[in-house]
Structure 1
């Protein structure tokens, strides 16, 4: 089948581990590659943010990336793309006239907004992966939420019009139901992990004699890194290493980075706390393997690739029981879930793992099995294809047959 993958802001060509990379970039790239391996044609449409990049780029994984002219050919913050979606949608409509697709899979609400308008002219079914919902973001951020005020209204409209919605977690599926989306038009299809890039073998980053906790993600307050910093005060002979890009260009000037360093100083753990900044894809696997425990303590998380990457590296995960983390981490089997972002609770969950190497190995082994068997990208692609086939009556049945 011919699949049009629309990802207006998150380009699959961005190098994993960079400061501009998030879970959506990885998801779109890995899913597209897995769908190609399954015998399908995939074209990814993303906004042109560089005047020198080619309009069409054929990747070595076999999918095509088309750079859509919409707004300035320069990087734009995600929430400033909305005024340019009309131009994006017009391009899609013209392009699909010359290069027909069988269905459209849009990632994030702004991509879906442009895709839905263009697809209507060609009577193409649209599937949507929201990768997080505005209702949840507003609930946790309140007035600090930077998303356009129209986001929640548009998401509800998009979800009700879509042929099918792919929720990243059971938590997101429940949120969609509260928005009025019928259950039969929603499937839970999680993100995945590359078991080759993230594996127990392959060397580890250098470390000292202390126990090591590792946290990964962009330096955003909602990621809850401060919980781990505060917990460190109750975990002697233990260090915390955070890997991830600052929101600004310079990690030393980043507001959240400064806040975390201040908290570390106030709690007397500054000498056991480090922020590495962006780490390469290869380097990230080595960093996970150097950890005794991986911490994931966000306020909310639509899905979260970090626990899966850590689990595939045979590391137990201590995580807050929010969003997709409740699906991926099995409490008492692959790690520990804490139900409040409380530093004392986090320290209490981490302490037995640091004290017992056998427990770390047992939970790490179970985590590795779960990540590889349940969340490899080929399995995610198969679940995605199953969702595609659920809308087969609206498509050419012949085009939806597997090869």
Structure 2
């Protein structure tokens, strides 16, 4: 099972890069299982490391993970450099988000190799600003990652603007490369009878199934969807909402009860990949009312599954879904607008099917992993070409020492206060739910954790 957008992105990108002829080595956390070293396809190798340290300190765990990823990647690089004609074999380091900063930076300086990064989201964007010491620390790590990177890849025009604003990255240092999806993932055998039997687990015969899948965090907008349901039901009495995804949902269930929607809204919790994909196949509409969304791979999944989509205009979603062409877009954090969009799709099935067909075509021509891998390989080639002409490549560059990372905020007990005085600010440990969200974004189930970190290497010498 994969959780979060980064995991979904790497799951599609790594094999596609390997198909271009690049030799791809993914160094990641082994908490989700699998062999320590495994060849998953031609040119694609996965190296998993484990963090044995028992700690409740998230930042300590991140540094332990990076130390182990660094050690594994270091052994790989040493082996490559010892090969005959090593200078003819390009080696490019590619870090994904700040959780891979420390290992990536160590390898960069140790071997004078080029490092590039993909920034999938920012702490500033997730929290609508920087408000706590923990957020400030993560924001600084994101800044340091883009500073150390030869080039920075982002997944949308929206994210280019955010990285420029939040991290002060120059415009011409950023490449926009969309995420993708594989339509073949949804082309599994699933007869009409099987679909009816499966749908009956979630909706009564004749009900219109509204489908949302995502983590139960504010930025994904499930609370907006719950608020919209009374207005949707007023126009479409047979509408049934299915909300799938992990996270804290008791407040959403309580709100559904207050609205009298307990029978009309079903919370499934986290579901398997198989159930997730089957729900796409039986849904009448997929809805993603995000408040903050760098891209929105789930919308692509719905489009690839031929499901009509309704999304908010948040961030990259407005680039993925073209209003009235490939789907319906609505105002951000606006239950009335969302109810309008859902009702419009459910009441106009012919128009919805036409938009779904357009969306599928756009998936095949724009959000195709092979196209995206070619664009990524072009960035690798550009970086390597510039690198070989630089003083960094021959070791003669004079450079300042890397900016030291900010000291991790200490976790302290709140001081005692009298009843007459206002309570002090919440202690830093209240940031931990936000950190759990960051972990999930990186494809890490919070109880175990996993972090993708990639070192890419091209076969042969160009």
> Shorter chain as normaliser: what TM range?
0.7 to 0.9
Shift of 1:316: 1.9
Q: How does 1:341-380 map to 2 (within 5 A)?
A: 341-380=333-372
Q: 1:8 matched to which residue of 2?
A: none
The equivalent position to 2:155 in structure 1, one of 168, 172, 175, is 168
Structure of higher RCO (CA pairs closer than 8 Å, 6+ residues apart): 2
The equivalent position to 2:292 in structure 1, one of 294, 300, 315, is 300
Shift of 1:76: 8.2
Does structure 1 retain, via aligned residues, the 8 Å contact 2:15–2:41?
no
TM-score by length of 2: 0.74
Q: Distance in 2 between matches of 1:352 and 1:201?
A: 30
Q: 2:62 matched to which residue of 1?
A: 82
Q: Distance in 1 between matches of 2:461 and 2:353?
A: 40
The equivalent position to 1:116 in structure 2, one of 105, 109, 115, is 105
Cα distance change, pair 189–147 in 1 and its aligned pair in 2 (3 A): farther
Cα distance change, pair 200–357 in 1 and its aligned pair in 2 (3 A): farther
Q: Distance in 1 between matches of 2:460 and 2:325?
A: 39
Q: Secondary structure at the match of 2:322?
A: coil
Q: 2:36 matched to which residue of 1?
A: 55
TM-score by length of 1: 0.84
Shift of 1:74: 7.6
Q: What are the Cα deviations for residues 328-370 of structure 1, in whole angstroms up to 9, with x where unaligned?
A: 0111111122222111110011112111111111111111111
Calculate the aligned-residue CA RMSD, in Å. Answer: 2.8
Q: 2:77 matched to which residue of 1?
A: 96
Does structure 1 retain, via aligned residues, the 8 Å contact 2:123–2:135?
no
Q: Distance in 2 between matches of 1:44 and 1:153?
A: 25
Q: 2:176 matched to which residue of 1?
A: 188
Cα distance change, pair 373–389 in 1 and its aligned pair in 2 (3 A): same
Q: What are the Cα deviations for residues 259-318 of structure 1, in whole angstroms up to 9, with x where unaligned?
A: 111111111111011122233333322211211211101220122210000011112211
Shift of 1:210: 1.3
Q: 2:218 matched to which residue of 1?
A: 221
Shift of 1:325: 0.8
Q: 1:288 matched to which residue of 2?
A: 280
Does structure 2 retain, via aligned residues, the 8 Å contact 1:125–1:394?
no
Q: 1:10 matched to which residue of 2?
A: none
**Does 2:254 match 1:262?**
yes
Question: Who wins on radius of gyration, i.e. which is larger?
Answer: 2
Q: Secondary structure at the match of 1:45?
A: strand
Shift of 1:402: 9.1
Q: 1:155 matched to which residue of 2?
A: 142
Q: Which runs of 5+ in 1 are unaligned?
A: 1-14, 247-255
The equivalent position to 2:17 in structure 1, one of 35, 38, 43, is 35
Q: Distance in 2 between matches of 1:141 and 1:216?
A: 27
Cα distance change, pair 22–342 in 1 and its aligned pair in 2 (3 A): same
Q: What are the Cα deviations for residues 174-197 of structure 1, in whole angstroms up to 9, with x where unaligned?
A: 122223222221111121101100
Cα distance change, pair 47–273 in 1 and its aligned pair in 2 (3 A): same
Q: How does 1:11-30 map to 2 (within 5 A)?
A: 15-16=1-2, 21-30=3-12
